[in-house]
Structure formats: structure tokens, C-alpha cells
Amino acid sequence: MLKIVARVMVSLSAVVVTGVASAQSPVRLVLDYAMQGQQSPIILAADGGYFERAGVTVRVDRGYGSGDSIAKVASGAYDVAFADVGAAVTFNSSQGSTRIIDVFQVYDAAPMVMLSLTKSHINKPADLAGKRIASPPGASSRVMFPTFAAVNNIDTSKINWIDVTPQLRETLLKQGQADATTALITDVAGLNRLNLSEDQISIMRFSDYGVNLYGHAILTTPAFAAKNPDVIRKLVKGVAEALKASIATPAAAISALAKRDALVEPSIEQRRLDLVLANAIVTDHVKMAGLSAVEMDRMQKTIDLITTTLKKPTMKAAELYHPEYLPQRGELMLP
């Protein structure tokens, strides 16, 4: 009898230990890019205790472009991505099914731009014909360029692409080895770091030329969300709280970033964060309705614009965006 009891106790101990280990297994989150100012709110969520207080452990790794991060989540290499929702639409449409879903819309507007030097006289989309454009293949602005081109009647066969690492595109632009680059508004800070002043930089916003899309979001697979609904809710809560803290005190997010990488230049990364907050996150709509207050008709327009121009199957906004994982609306309002 004692032996039986002992075996039962051992078995129960194993179950408890296994359960604890499982509960403590970190969610694997991949960013869209290297750790810079615009990603600092997510880093703050991980390193500033926001995920922990929400009840979830999250490991945050750098990414190599939204397209690459989304593919890694779809393959199971990561559980969650912070990446461009437009790139997710492109991925889903190429798969013929909704393999990636949006559980928290971080950017109310996609801050995608074409950057060039004013001396290149690239002032409108038609001026890009025949030009050399440097961009990482997986960058969200590169993934969305075919939509930008279709809306503005740009012959993509006349674009000379230069595939580069993210670290090199601003350098090639300054050196004159590239005429333009697809980018996010935050990359203006990278050009400032190379001693290029604002009046030397030409910014062509996608949104000014017919491509007004939702931007970066917290993305996962339907299977992971369905299997781990409480984990996703806690993760989203942690992101929301850290994001509000970053909006109120941007220096806190930059401090978390600097602890991760002692080589970052805080002033440059502060500039990146300020740019993304002003141009993508704290919009008039967010000020009024709160974070991730997605308008489903606008999300449908985002989907339809991308899939129509790419001549790919479309999907319903309700298949892509899942607000059921959000905290109460009051928790998403800005201070």
C-alpha cells in the first residue's frame, strides 16, 4: 500500500512539475526589425515588468523584416510577431487562407514612406521610374510597394531594386549608390544620424498617394490563439500597458532599449520613437477611441486595396482582426 501511495505521489509531483514548467515556458515574440526606438514599447513590456504583471512570460527577439517575421510565426518558429498587418494580408492571400490573425492593432496608420535626397528630385511616384531603390526584401514598406505602385500607375519593371540589409540602406542613399529607399517614417532618424538635415531629405508618404492602411500589429496564428486564449489576452494587456507608459513617458521605453543594447544612441532612438508615436500610434482617432479601436470597414478597405492590386484572393476583416483578446475598452484609453 505504501508503495502504491508513493507511486501516486511521484506521479502527481511529475504532473505538477510539468504543469509549472509549461506555465513558465515563455511566449516567443519576434519583432519586425532590429531593436530600435519604434520597437522600444515592446521591449519595455518585456523588461519593465508589464508582461510579468499581466501574468505571462515573453521572450522578445529582433526580426529581419515584417514578411520574414510573419513567415516565422506561420511556421511555428515563433508564437507571436510585432509586424505589419498589410504584410500579413499579403501572406494570407498568397496562402489562400487566413493563417495569420491580428489580435491588437498597435499602429492606427501605416507610417510607410519613400525616402530620397532632395537633390535627386524624386517628388512624386512617377519620378521613381528607372530609379535604384534600396530595401531589405522583407521590409513591410517593400512588401507593400506593389500596392503603392499599382495605385499610382508605376511600372514595376522599371524599378531597379537593390537588396540590402536594413543597416545599409541609409548609407547607400547618402553615398549616392541608391536613389531612394522604401522605409518607415522612423528611418528619417537614421538619415539624421548620418548628418543629413531635414531639408536634405525628401519624404513621400504612401498615405498621401492613395495607400492609407493600418500598420503594425500583434500577430499570431489562429491555432495558437485558440489553444492559448488566456496567454494572448495577457500578452495583449502587457503590450497595451507598456504602450500607454511609453506614450506618457517615452524616456522609459528608451531606457529599456538602452539596457538591451548599450551601443544605441538614445537621442536617435528617442527621435525614432517620437516619429512613430506622432505618425502612427497617437492619431486623432486613438485619442478619441483608444488603442486598437479598429474600424472594421477601414480594415476591410485595407484588405481589399492590397488583395485587389496584387490580384490575390481577399478575406473578410472579421477573419483577420480578432478584438476578443483585447482588455476592456477603458483599459485602452490614453491618459
pLDDT by residue (tens digit) across 71-83? 999 999 999 999 9
Q: Report the pLDDT value the prediction gives residue 25, as an integer from 0 to 100.
A: 80
Chosen CATH of 26-109+214-332 out of 3.40.190.10, 3.30.70.360, 3.20.190.10, 3.30.1220.10: 3.40.190.10
Alpha-carbon distance of 306 to 10, in angstroms, equals 56
Kindly state the average pLDDT of the residues 301-328. 94
48 pLDDT more than 80? yes
Least confident of 12-26, 105-119, 148-162: 12-26
Q: Report the pLDDT value the prediction gives residue 16, as an integer from 0 to 100.
A: 41
Burial class (CB in 10 A: 0-12, 13-18, 19+), 320: buried
Kindly state the average pLDDT of the residues 293-306. 96
- The answer for 42, left when phi > 0, alpha when psi is -120 to 50, beta otherwise, is alpha
Kindly state the average pLDDT of the residues 131-157. 92
Q: Which residues pair with 150 in a beta bridge?
A: none
What is the CATH code for 112-209?
A: 3.40.190.10
292 pLDDT more than 90? yes
DSSP H helical ranges for 104-193? 140-143, 145-151, 166-175, 188-193
Question: 3-state DSSP call for residue 58?
Answer: strand
23 pLDDT more than 90? no
Question: 3-state DSSP call for residue 263?
Answer: coil
* Total H helices, total E strands in the chain: 16, 10
Half-sphere exposure in the Cβ direction for 267 (13 Å, CA): 2
**Percent above pLDDT 90 for the chain:** 82
pLDDT by residue (tens digit) across 238-289? 999 999 999 999 999 999 999 999 999 999 999 999 999 999 999 999 999 9
pLDDT by residue (tens digit) across 195-219? 999 899 999 999 999 999 999 999 9
Alpha-carbon distance of 182 to 153, in angstroms, equals 17
Is residue 160 within 8 Å of 130, Cβ to Cβ?
A: yes
Kindly state the average pLDDT of the residues 153-166. 92
- Separation of CA 119 from chain center: 31
Q: Report the pLDDT value the prediction gives residue 17, as an integer from 0 to 100.
A: 39
User: Which segments of the chain belong to CATH 3.40.190.10?
Assistant: 26-109+214-332, 112-209
Q: Report the pLDDT value the prediction gives residue 166, as an integer from 0 to 100.
A: 76
What average pLDDT is seen over the chain? 91
Kindly state the average pLDDT of the residues 118-142. 93
Residue 89, all three cell numbers: 494580408
Global confidence as pTM: 0.86
12 pLDDT more than 50? no
Q: Report the pLDDT value the prediction gives residue 52, as an integer from 0 to 100.
A: 97
Banded model confidence at residue 140, pLDDT cuts 50, 70, 90: confident
8 pLDDT more than 60? no
